[in-house]
Structure 1
Amino acid sequence: MATLERIRNKSGLLIIVIAIGLLAFLLGDLMSSGDSIFRRRNMQIAEINGTSVSYPEYQNYVTELEDYYKLNSRSSALDENTSYQIREQAWNQMVQDIIMNEKYEDLGIAVTADEIFEMATGKNVHPQIRQMFTNPQTGVFDRAQVINFLQQKNLDPNANFYWLFLEKQIKKERLFAKYRELIKKGMYITTAQAKAEAEAKENKVDFDFVVKRYSAVPDSAVTVSESDVKNYYDAHKENYKQEATREVAYVSFDVVPSDEDRQMAEAWIENSKVEFANPQTDAIQYVNMNSESNYIPRNLKFEQLSSTLQGFVQGASENEVYGPYLENETYKLSRIVAIKQMPDSVKARHILVNDPALADSLFALVKGGANFAEIARANSADQGSAINGGDLGWFAEGTMVKPFNDACFENPKGSIVKVETQFGIHIINVQDKGKPVTKYNIATLERNITYSSKTNQQVYAQAAKFASMNNTFEKFDEAITADNLVKRYGRSIKANDRTVNNMEHSREMVRWAFEADMNEMSPIFEFGDSYIIAFVTGAKEEGYQSVAAVKSSIERRLRNDKKAEVLIAELNSKKQGNDIAALASAIDSEVMTASQIDFGAFQVPGAGVEPALVALATSSKVGEVSAPVAGNNGVYAVKVSNVTNNTVDLEAEKAQLSQSVGFKVDYQATEAIRSKAVIADERSKFF
């Protein structure tokens, strides 16, 4: 009590001390060279509905997904494309988490630890967990195995990480399921709604129609004022949102092999011929050590050889060499390693196991005459063939991995052999062999025609000279014409685009375009085998398009609206009772016919997608020419000739509507929320 009293008595002083200390901290932080407030702003990768997200926070998402991918794929490194896809997935997941967690918190939606445990071991186990802990032999889910895994997972960092990742995904899934169900419960389909929909579908109509298209009225006949355009723009401004984009113009200096480079490649292959053709030289080893491509151990039929080699092998013998010859910008020498009589295909069955002891036991059984098919069905890990007694059917040489292929093609019909591949241990029964044919085993020495460092330097010097002499857009434009170069364009480039016009590794150019000013020249970029010099020629910032930018499309729409008024008046004035043919003649049109159209139809033959025409036809009286209505392409009038009544099941219609609403919730709920979210994407600062 005494201690509590002392705290109370000194609380006023303590508050003052804290306030002074906090102020000093903030001032010191602001005045320091690396102040945390500005550092936080510099490290911001996004702002989502007012929530600032730092680069490290986003990177946590990326790292987690990368680790999960590596664990699943058993790989230690990621290629560029996979890394990009993971970053995109991490971004979308992070945005969804932030915008949805706001909703869950507002609505009090949560998932408890007990729920997670129930999804792992209860009556309704999550499908992914069920798949992980189902016995592949019996197909039965093993709850005891789940519990044992949960008790032991902390002993294995990989197992623990995998489970925590899975648990997080399951929790997110359950949260969204609860949110989704709340929305669905609030979107009940009433009997009145179902009845209205059913009645709309009960009638299918046959009708004649005429159209007077908007093009029949000259543009000069109607006037769209500036105020008309402005008023329409203001009323529909949300339709004119735009992302930030850039336009660039660029020239490419491509590095291609020179005549000297081609001669060097040809000389290299010529100089190699003597040693490669020497019968004492191991052709396979020589190719593997010196060629651009390794030796491929395949025995090829005559028909499988290139046309060039087909002419060579006829009458040739082992160790003969053909070439040099040029094929696909590569100089080649080909030497016949072997000529064999081999079956074109074989028929085999196998038993795949991973346990060496079990493999030895099963091998002994089938060698001793046990039923191969029954043993395969009971023991083979290759479930695709096990169901057929291990039967793989007929297959050509080169179809299977090499050890398996060689065992099948090099052993006699009826033999049972054991061989190991990357998939496990195979017990193979060679059941049959095709008729022997002549096959050729060929080793090919290759030398690609590539540009040298000298050629590369010459092209770079050319690009550098062009850049130094044409450092303004006007000079750039003139020089392209004068030097007979090709000006290329990158259009509507977005800040997070990976490439410009699919140029290899051109992300750097995208980042430059968003940092540069209008008509600013780029540095010399090196993308693949090209040097690129570019200028920024256009820039649109995120926000709304200007009235001027969308004026022509608005004018077109408003002009058609005004033309519709003119055409509706014309059709009304020329309507002659219920004679639609007379109306067609009066407006210089023709009568078209459509049949079996109901209210749910998307289009009308001869008219295209015209919802207004569908609504007009299905609501008009039989035998009367309707009042004209404006559609997408012109003004229409109809005359219904027949109505076919179909009985629509009210309850079935209600169920279908409910299902349709449910599907919309499933696929549109997140997108609807995301479309309303305020998201500032600043990833382009970092990637």
Structure 2
Amino acid sequence: MAILSKIRDRSGFLIIVIGLAMFSFVVSPKDIIDFFSNKNSDIIGEVNGKEITYKEFATRVENAKNQGGQSSYGTLTMENMVWNQMVSEKIYESKLEEAGVIVGEGEIWQSIITSPQVTNSPQFKNAQGVFNEDLLKEYIANLEADKTPDGKARLQGWLSYEKAVKQNLLTQAYNELVNVGFSVPEKEAVNDYVLNNTKVSADYVYLPFASIPNTDVKVTKEEVASYVKEHASLFETEETRDLKLVKFSFQASKEDEEEIKHNLAKLVEDKEEYNKISKSTELVKGFKNTPDAFLYAEEVGSDLPLENRFQAESEIPTVIKEEITNGTKGAVVGPYKFSKYYKLTKIIDSQKLPDSVNASHILINFVGAQSAQANTTRTLADAQKLADSILAVVKKSPRKFATLAENYSIDPGSASKGGNLGWFAYRSMVPEFRDFCFENKKGDIGVVRTNFGFHVIKIENQKDFNQAYKLATISRKIEASEATENKTFEEAETFANELRNGGDFEALAKEKGYAVSPVNGLKALDVYVGSVGENRRIVRWAFEEDTNINSTQRFDLDEKGYAVVALSGKQEKGLKSATTAFSQVEPILMKEKKAEILKAKMDAGSLEAIAKANNVEVASFNDVTLGAPTIAGVGIEPAVVSVASVATPNNLVKEVVGNKGVFAVVTKSVKQPKEEDAKESLEVASTQLKSSVSRQLFTGLKDNVEIKDYRASRY
């Protein structure tokens, strides 16, 4: 009893211990440590010490999705947009605090009530159509009082709008403070105008970098490392990972395709089946002899939607077009392969139909119809009775159709025209309406029911008749069978296991004939992993602390197959390694080495001699400006045009390194614009400078604050 008493006294402690023990069975020790560490706290980021909480971030993301962004952007894109917005807010708030500037509630409200988005909204206008501030206040009060989920969502949307207004005011306030200190001196504006509009003409000889094969110029890792060290500011990088992977996709085998094709073929003819209820063998009609092909297709199932309509000859797949156009009603074509499907097609009907129809209608709605207004009281039975009565009248007196349309039709667009809808194509109307108009004749009058109500229809005219075909098609997607999927799994797991046992990734893949795909520069918050597509599991694995170089892992690609992935490179935050930077630096160093080779080929004393020695022609450019330094036939070459603009006319300048090669230049003329013209551009120059400052300001501010991003540990 004493033991039981102690257990009862410590039951709360035991529950915690047992809970943690059970938790450890399904969660790794690392995850348990992370759960209680700062990584999993409510702080998801910091901007100069100002915290961004996970709760606030998640709420802002959800609000953004609810406002319609989810359909336009992917989840990560939306999260990045919200993150950047919140970082921007923190930066501007801190900078304005330092400057002693505060954006008050009054300024925010004033900005809201002068915003076209608000003042033009009909719900905030009075009976005279004028914006009323009291209506806006009433709307906000109602949002705050509405405790329903929909009301809370709308309130969050409004609060998000208020934050956006505040952020815009913060940005404007800081930009205005900065712009006050910027102006363009007249002399500077004049010089800039003259520089960009000076026209230069020159003769030149051009030796392109492409004239030297890349194989003749070698760049070593040591040279790359030295270049990176000398240009450190250009090669700062965040933490990245390099991967190599092999995809094992689920692909239907030839046997799978034959099985799909065979199963479709079995649907064509009648067959005998045993009925367990009647305990006898019965004849079951197949696709060919069934009286309702569309119902049959629905019952056996089709992997593509059925289209119960006529099709023009141009819509019929080329692979069966001849059989369909020469076939008879009831004939079945296939199985045939089209795109990613095997199909069976039955000819239901064939007739000449117009390409377009001119018709009039009288639309009668009822409660529940798509066209019904809130005050509609007419029942379905009453609507049908009214439609039938109108039909009886217009059949006897077709001339009364227009008057009846004006008096009874609830379609305002056509009612004012006597019910006329004008000309329309086959696929522009709902099926029931379409079928009546295109499958009947000019002058026919009838009633059809659609989701919009009952339509009394009169076919006014038809034109451009062509042969059309109504086809019922059963489709089966060509996909891997369970046996093929199992085989794919075995291949992926065998490959992964051999790698775990020390196999070399590249060599083993080559031996087995697998294609290796590299994925370089993967970032912690990336979603897409090369040819695999979206897969956060692979990204998170690549950045785990215990994932080392040459670590391998097999990943499920949902229903698409598997990927065997190896970590091939780690780049920690800081300066890029020579390996990581090699592809970026190699072209630069290669260009430098080629430039030295080409310079040595310009040792002659004139353009003609240099051209002759290198078997090229002397060329020229005329009236090219530094503002648009494009040399015809070569490309954009600012360095060449700059040298020509300051060189003494008729003097040879050699070894000018440009974008596309090395140049020798002889200036012919330099024409400078008048300073009077430049003075007129002073105001434009000042405006452009301020605009440029505003665009670059946030980037500059962001580079000078400490931003800590913990999102990768959450996603």
Matching residue of 2:308: 297
Deviation digits for residues 508-535 of structure 1 (CA, Å, limit 9, x no counterpart): 1222122211111213434543222222
The letter of the residue matching 1:133 is P
In structure 2, do the counterparts of structure 1 residues 582 and 100 end up closer, same or farther at CA, with 3 Å as the change threshold? same
1:268: Cα distance to partner? 2.6
Contact in 2 for aligned 1:288/1:294 (Cα 8 Å): no
Matched, 1:249 2:244: yes
The letter of the residue matching 1:292 is D
The letter of the residue matching 1:198 is Y
1:596: Cα distance to partner? 0.9
Matching residue of 1:46: 45
Q: What is the aligned counterpart of 2:480 among 448, 451, 454?
A: 451
Matching residue of 1:442: 471
Q: What is the aligned counterpart of 1:396 among 415, 425, 429?
A: 425
Distance 1:359 1:314 in 2: 50
The letter of the residue matching 1:99 is I
Structure 1: tracts of 5 or more residues without a match: 1-32, 71-77
Contact in 2 for aligned 1:416/1:430 (Cα 8 Å): no
Matching residue of 1:83: 75
Contact in 2 for aligned 1:359/1:425 (Cα 8 Å): no
Deviation digits for residues 195-223 of structure 1 (CA, Å, limit 9, x no counterpart): 2123335532322234577899999xx9x
Task: Show the 5 A alignment for 1:104-115.
Answer: 104-115=96-107
Matched, 1:672 2:700: yes
Matched, 1:537 2:568: yes
Contact in 2 for aligned 1:472/1:520 (Cα 8 Å): no
Matching residue of 1:188: 183
Matching residue of 2:116: 127
Structure 2: tracts of 5 or more residues without a match: 1-30, 271-284, 364-369, 391-399
1:152: Cα distance to partner? 3.6
In structure 2, do the counterparts of structure 1 residues 149 and 356 end up closer, same or farther at CA, with 3 Å as the change threshold? closer
Q: What is the aligned counterpart of 1:368 among 403, 411, 414?
A: 403
In structure 2, do the counterparts of structure 1 residues 54 and 425 end up closer, same or farther at CA, with 3 Å as the change threshold? farther
Q: Percent identity?
A: 26
Matching residue of 2:395: none
In structure 2, do the counterparts of structure 1 residues 418 and 330 end up closer, same or farther at CA, with 3 Å as the change threshold? closer
Deviation digits for residues 310-355 of structure 1 (CA, Å, limit 9, x no counterpart): 3333454444333333333533222233334432123569999773
Matching residue of 2:345: 334
Q: What is the aligned counterpart of 1:499 among 528, 532, 535?
A: 528
Matching residue of 1:197: 192
Contact in 1 for aligned 2:40/2:714 (Cα 8 Å): no
Distance 1:81 1:533 in 2: 29
DSSP 3-state at the match of 2:635:
coil
In structure 2, do the counterparts of structure 1 residues 259 and 218 end up closer, same or farther at CA, with 3 Å as the change threshold? closer
Distance 2:479 2:585 in 1: 54
Task: Show the 5 A alignment for 1:201-600.
Answer: 201=196, 203-210=198-205, 233=228, 236-273=231-268, 274=270, 275-277=285-287, 279=289, 281-289=291-299, 290-314=301-325, 316-347=327-358, 355=373, 367-368=402-403, 394-402=423-431, 405-406=434-435, 409=438, 432-515=461-544, 516-546=547-577, 581=608, 591-600=618-627
Contact in 2 for aligned 1:505/1:528 (Cα 8 Å): no
Matching residue of 1:610: 637
Contact in 1 for aligned 2:197/2:627 (Cα 8 Å): no
In structure 2, do the counterparts of structure 1 residues 110 and 210 end up closer, same or farther at CA, with 3 Å as the change threshold? same
Contact in 2 for aligned 1:134/1:140 (Cα 8 Å): no
Moved more, 394-403 or 235-244: 394-403
DSSP 3-state at the match of 2:82:
helix
Distance 2:326 2:456 in 1: 39
In structure 2, do the counterparts of structure 1 residues 406 and 166 end up closer, same or farther at CA, with 3 Å as the change threshold? farther
1:287: Cα distance to partner? 1.9
In structure 2, do the counterparts of structure 1 residues 153 and 228 end up closer, same or farther at CA, with 3 Å as the change threshold? closer
1:552: Cα distance to partner? 9.7
1:440: Cα distance to partner? 1.7
Contact in 2 for aligned 1:209/1:636 (Cα 8 Å): yes
Distance 2:101 2:44 in 1: 28
1:172: Cα distance to partner? 1.5
Contact in 2 for aligned 1:331/1:449 (Cα 8 Å): yes
Matching residue of 1:73: none
In structure 2, do the counterparts of structure 1 residues 482 and 552 end up closer, same or farther at CA, with 3 Å as the change threshold? closer
Contact in 2 for aligned 1:203/1:646 (Cα 8 Å): no
1:59: Cα distance to partner? 1.7
Deviation digits for residues 555-583 of structure 1 (CA, Å, limit 9, x no counterpart): 98689779989999997x965xxx76567
Moved more, 440-449 or 309-318: 309-318
1:128: Cα distance to partner? 2.2
1:230: Cα distance to partner? 8.3
Matched, 1:58 2:57: yes
Matching residue of 2:685: 657
Deviation digits for residues 160-203 of structure 1 (CA, Å, limit 9, x no counterpart): 33322222222222221222233333221221222212333553
1:104: Cα distance to partner? 2.8
DSSP 3-state at the match of 1:434:
strand
Contact in 1 for aligned 2:143/2:154 (Cα 8 Å): yes
In structure 2, do the counterparts of structure 1 residues 234 and 478 end up closer, same or farther at CA, with 3 Å as the change threshold? closer
Distance 2:437 2:648 in 1: 77
Contact in 2 for aligned 1:214/1:635 (Cα 8 Å): no
Deviation digits for residues 627-660 of structure 1 (CA, Å, limit 9, x no counterpart): 8755454354432236375676345412322332
The letter of the residue matching 1:113 is E
Distance 1:386 1:49 in 2: 66
DSSP 3-state at the match of 1:292:
coil
Distance 1:557 1:303 in 2: 54
Distance 1:562 1:615 in 2: 23
Count of paired positions: 629
Distance 1:36 1:446 in 2: 50
DSSP 3-state at the match of 1:188:
coil
Contact in 1 for aligned 2:492/2:562 (Cα 8 Å): yes
Matching residue of 1:93: 85
In structure 2, do the counterparts of structure 1 residues 642 and 111 end up closer, same or farther at CA, with 3 Å as the change threshold? closer
The letter of the residue matching 1:153 is L
Contact in 2 for aligned 1:622/1:643 (Cα 8 Å): no
Distance 2:342 2:318 in 1: 16
Deviation digits for residues 257-281 of structure 1 (CA, Å, limit 9, x no counterpart): 3455334423432332233436554
Deviation digits for residues 107-133 of structure 1 (CA, Å, limit 9, x no counterpart): 334333323332343xxx213224433
The letter of the residue matching 1:502 is S
Distance 2:193 2:528 in 1: 51
Moved more, 637-646 or 286-295: 637-646
Distance 2:643 2:38 in 1: 60
CA RMSD in angstroms comes to 4.9
The letter of the residue matching 1:285 is L
DSSP 3-state at the match of 1:671:
helix
Moved more, 539-548 or 205-214: 205-214
In structure 2, do the counterparts of structure 1 residues 317 and 165 end up closer, same or farther at CA, with 3 Å as the change threshold? same
The letter of the residue matching 2:94 is E
Matched, 1:164 2:152: no
Distance 2:222 2:533 in 1: 48
What TM-score do the two structures reach when normalised by structure 2? 0.73
